[in-house]
Every structure is written in structure tokens, then in C-alpha cells.
Chain A
Amino acid sequence: MDIKKVVVIGAGTMGSGIAQWFTQQMCSVELVDNSQEQLLKSLQSIHLSWDKLLEKNKLSLEKITEMKRSLFIKSLDEVSKDADLVIEAIIENLDVKKDLFKKLDNHFSSQTILSSNTSSFPIELMATAVSSERKKRFVGLHFFNPATIMKLVEVIKAKDSDERLCQDLYQWFESNDKKPALCKDSPGFIVNRVARNFYGEPLRIVDSDDEFKMKEIDHILREVGGFKMGPFELMDLIGIDVNYSVTCSVWEAYKREPRFAPHALQKQMVEEKRFGRKVKRGFYKYD
């Protein structure tokens, strides 16, 4: 498999990061968004990031010039029809995504691979919007933030995705310095499912709004466990609201299986708008 031309739809944090990473692999990348303002902001931010890498001598001027020439911002109607790979990274709204995939299915060549970076919806549900032929070339590609740094890409095989195509994508990412993981189309895929108890279990050990105990648990899991951050400081960084929402979404998807149940304190904090670092108040205070 050779991926040379990539279209990324959605110029938010994830879309921009994904576009930047593919350009750094010397692919030709077209970044698409409804908002021209967002596109310009994203392009400027990617260029700035490359300029910083140049200053630090991490990339050569030639390479950066080439990358800047290979990254384009476009509207959906303008994008090349012969892209090898399209990655959708728009808002997490199933109806909006399905409408988009219907358009993409009509727009792109039959050989183009369509994919979604969703963390919330089954790939199979989005694939209902495309033709039965395209379903074979429809997969999930779940990147992690920041996409230029985090190595993992979950390659998600939906019911009708071509097995060989998934293997080829796996190999392609592996040969381009990512660490792909192949997984089935199931709620939370691997990471958002298996990681739930890194938050859920410490919450049950504390079982109350006790900052002293939380601090101690963060310390133990960093010192003894070797985690880069403890669960409470990490939840404050991610956002209590965001983490609670992912927990509830996985819990509901698994028909309220007790292993995924949110803790009462998470709900209480969301109600009290203690969303974490972004509002300077979460499990800890940030004054």
C-alpha cells in the first residue's frame, strides 16, 4: 500500500494534528473545513510549529519548504477526487457524520479509503451512509492527541471492512513510525475502554471529595506505578466534563455494565461546573 494523497476533514485540534502528521510523512494533504477562518488558523498554527522545529534544527529548511508546499486548505467541493485516504475528524454528531460520508462516497474515486477518527460512534453505523462497495474500504482510524506526537493509531475493522485493507493500513502506519493497533468495531475500541478504570478505581478508593487522599493516590500511581500522571491530575487536565461524558458513553454502550459505571463524584463535579484546569477548579484548585 502506498498513501500519497490524503484529505482530512475538520480543522479542529485533531484534524489539524492529523493533517500535520501526514504532511510530515511527505504526503500531499488537503485540509477541509466549513470555516475558512478555522482553516487559516490551523494552517498558521501548523506552519508555526514547523518553523519552531526549524529553529531547533529538528527539521531541515528543504524539508519544511517541501511540507509547506504539500499542505493545502480547501473547501469540500474543491478537494481532489483521487485521494488515497480520507480521514473525517469533525464534531461528534452521528447524523452530521453520516451526511458527510454520503457526500464523500459520491465525491471520491472508488479506490479512495474513507475513514473516521471518531471515539464515540460505531464505524458500522457511519458506514450505513455509503454504498455496499465502499463499505469494504471504510474503516476507523483513531488517532490520539497530539497526533504528531502520540504514536498510537487504532485501526478499526468494521463488519464489512476488507481484512486485507486493514492489515495494509496497519503495515503502512508501522512503516511510518506510528504504533498501530488493530481492533474490532466495539464501544471505546481499545484505549477508551481499557483505560476507564484508571479513573474509576481510584475514585472508588477515595470515595469522597478528599483532596488529601487524591494527592496521595496520584503520588502512589506516579511513584509506584510509573504512570506519567496520576488519575486525578489527569482528569483535571482532560476536563472532568469530557472524562465523565466518555465514561457515560462507554457505560451506556455496554448496557450499563457495572465495570464502566461513573462514580457519583464525577456527576456532582459536572453539576458544580468543577471541570478541571480549564476553570481552575476540579479535584484540585488552580489559583
Chain B
Amino acid sequence: MTNISFDNILINFGFGTKEEKKKILSENSEKKIFMDLTCYDPSAFYSEFPQLKGTFAALFCDELKKIEIHFKERDQAVINKLVELGFTPIEISIISCGFVFPRTIVQIINEAYFALDEGVAKKEDINRAMKFGVNYPKGPFEWSEGKEIYVLTLLEELFHKTQDKRYIPSKLLK
């Protein structure tokens, strides 16, 4: 994880366990904190940590670096800093575990892994089918490459929160 501090603001980037994220929040209670919570439920963090003023989802962003950001308290300085770092923040009002884009694609990725495990097709064929059959910008395995831990963490978080079996991850992700 990386922290960037300026004025009385702390922006926390990167992947960490829930406990690691909470530790940062606890240790910086005097600051306004904006945190990447791609794999978790922001509402649970907001209610526990009043110093958390905004959350964003950057773990799945590609070279365009477009990210969802939710503000409990909007702060233009944070937007400016993210832009300075090369991000394009898209402000959202929906608070959802896994935000919108990560939550949607981890389910697509999970299904692709189930299909792979069942021998339905090879990775390249699944990627190709989704790009050229329904115009997806990337194939499921292109989205997940090197990010399997984020996919797995978010699926487990969604299952933990909802107890819905639709979020049980493919064993290939474990």
C-alpha cells in the first residue's frame, strides 16, 4: 500500500487486508482520509471511521486510469491530486461493496474461470469470444491477469456480506 499525505489529507492507495486498511484509519484519526477500498464495502468503513471522507476503486484500472470515487465529503484538492497522479476520477453516488465496475467484472471473470475449469474452452478462446462476440473492451483473463488476488478477495467479501452462493469463487482462483 502507498500513502500520500498533503495538508491534513491522507490518500491511501493499493491492496491490503481489511485489518491493514483499518489500522491506517485508526492511526490517522486526526486526518481526512481517502482510501482505495476496491475489494470491500465502503459503507461499513464509513460508519466505523468518521475520518474516512471518501473511497475509490483503483485496483482494476487500466492504462487509462479511470477510477470510481465516492465522496462522503467532496474535496477538490483530492480530485486535483488524483488528476496530478494521472488518474481520471469519475464521481459516483452509489455505495456498493466492490463499487460498480470491479463488482461486475469479478463476476464475469469468475464465470470465465468456471468455464475454463470445466474445459469449455481455452483462455484465449474465452477472451476472444467476449471481445468479438459482445464487444467487451478486454477478455476476462486479460482483466484478471496479475489481479487474481483482488478478484478472489472481492468475491469472498461479497459472499461474506450476502451469503449468496453466486459469489462462491472458482477453485482455479484459489
Give the Cβ gap from B134 to chain A, nearest Cβ, in Å.
Answer: 5
| Interfacial residues of chain A within 179-200, with CB under 8 A of chain B in the complex | 179-184, 186, 189-191, 193-198, 200
User: Once the chains bind, are B101 and A221 in contact (CB under 8 Å)?
Assistant: yes
Chain B residue contacts of A150, Cβ below 8 A: 132-133
Interface residue from A197, A220, A261 paired with B108 (Cβ < 8 Å)? A197
Most buried by B among A180, A219, A258, A259: A259
User: In whole angstroms, what is the CA distance A183 to B120 when docked?
Assistant: 5
Among the listed stretches B15-23, B71-79, B90-98, which one makes contact with chain A, having 4 or more residues with CB under 8 Å of it? B90-98
Residues of chain B within 8 A of A261, CB atoms compared: 166
Assess A258 versus B164: contact at CB under 8 Å? Given A179-B128, A196-B111.
Answer: yes
Residues in chain A near residue B42, CB distance under 8 A: none
- Give the docked Cα–Cα distance between A228 and B138 (Å): 12
* Contact between A194 and B100, CB atoms less than 8 A apart: no
Question: Which of A179, A194, A227, A259 has the most B CB atoms < 10 Å from its CB?
Answer: A194
Judge whether B64 is part of the interface by a CB distance below 8 angstroms.
yes
Known: A224-B100, A258-B164. A191 touches B133 (CB 8 A): yes
**B174 contacts chain A at the CB level, 8 A cutoff:** no
Task: Determine whether A151 belongs to the interface, using a CB cutoff of 8 Å to chain B.
Answer: yes
Residue pair B92, A220 in contact (C-beta under 8 Å): yes
Expressed in whole angstroms, the Cα–Cα distance for A232 and B25 within the complex equals: 36
The residue of chain B having its C-beta at the shortest distance from the C-beta of A231 within the complex is B104
Knowing A194-B112, A197-B111, A225-B137, the reply to whether A181 touches B129 (Cβ < 8 A) is yes
How many B residues are at the interface, by size bracket? 35 or more
Given A216-B94, A258-B166, A259-B166, check contact A227 B137 (CB 8 Å): yes
Contact, CB under 8 Å: B111 / A193:
yes
A219 vs B91: C-alpha distance when bound (angstroms): 11
Chain A: minimal CB distance from B76 (Å): 20
Task: Flag if B105 contacts A190 (CB, 8 Å).
Answer: no
Which of A154, A184, A190, A227 is packed against the most chain B CB atoms within 10 Å? A190
Cross-chain contact A205 with B103 (CB below 8 angstroms): yes
A54 contacts partner chain B, Cβ-Cβ < 8 Å? no
Most central of B103, B118, B131, B135 by chain A CB within 10 Å: B135
- Which residue of A191, A205, A259 is within 8 Å of B94 (Cβ)? A205
Q: Which of B104, B107, B110, B115 contacts A190 (CB 8 A)?
A: B115
The size class of the interface chain A forms with chain B is 35 or more
Q: Which residue of A lies closest to B137 (CB)?
A: A226
Interface: A223 (CB within 8 A): yes
Scan B127-154; emit 1 where CB is below 8 A from any A CB, else 0: 0111111111110100000000000000
Say yes or no for B165: interface residue by CB 8 A criterion: yes
Whether B59 sits at the interface, judged by CB under 8 Å, is no
- Chain A stretch 230-278: residues in CB contact (< 8 A) with chain B: 231, 258-259, 261
Cβ A225 vs Cβ B104 within 8 A: yes
Structural contact, B121 and A190, CB atoms closer than 8 A = yes
Please state if B129 and A152 are interface contacts (CB–CB under 8 Å).
yes
Scoring B67, B115, B126, B134 by chain A CB atoms within 10 A of each residue's CB, the highest score goes to: B134
Looking at the assembled complex, report how far the CB atom of A195 sits from the nearest CB atom of chain B, in whole angstroms: 5
Q: Which residue of B lies closest to A212 (CB)?
A: B93
Residues of B contacting A179 in the complex (Cβ-Cβ under 8 angstroms)? 128, 131-132
Contact in complex: B104, A197 (CB < 8 Å): yes
User: Is B125 touching A226 in the complex (CB atoms < 8 A)?
Assistant: no
Shortest beta-carbon distance from A131 to chain B in Å: 27
Is residue B122 contacting chain A, with contact meaning CB distance below 8 A? yes
Q: Can you show 12 pairs from A to B with CB atoms below 8 A apart?
A: A144-B133, A180-B128, A186-B115, A190-B130, A194-B111, A200-B107, A200-B166, A201-B104, A202-B104, A224-B90, A224-B100, A259-B111
A: residues with CB less than 8 A from B are 144, 150-152, 154, 179-184, 186, 189-191, 193-198, 200-202, 205, 213, 216-217, 219-221, 223-228, 231, 258-259, 261
> Which B residues have a C-beta under 8 Å from some C-beta of A?
61-62, 64, 66-68, 90, 92-94, 96, 100-101, 103-105, 107-108, 110-112, 114-115, 118-122, 125-126, 128-138, 140, 164-166
Q: List 19 extra interface pairs beyond A180-B128, A224-B68, CB under 8 A.
A: A152-B128, A179-B131, A181-B132, A182-B121, A184-B119, A190-B130, A191-B129, A191-B130, A194-B111, A200-B107, A201-B108, A213-B94, A216-B93, A217-B94, A221-B101, A224-B61, A226-B137, A258-B165, A261-B166
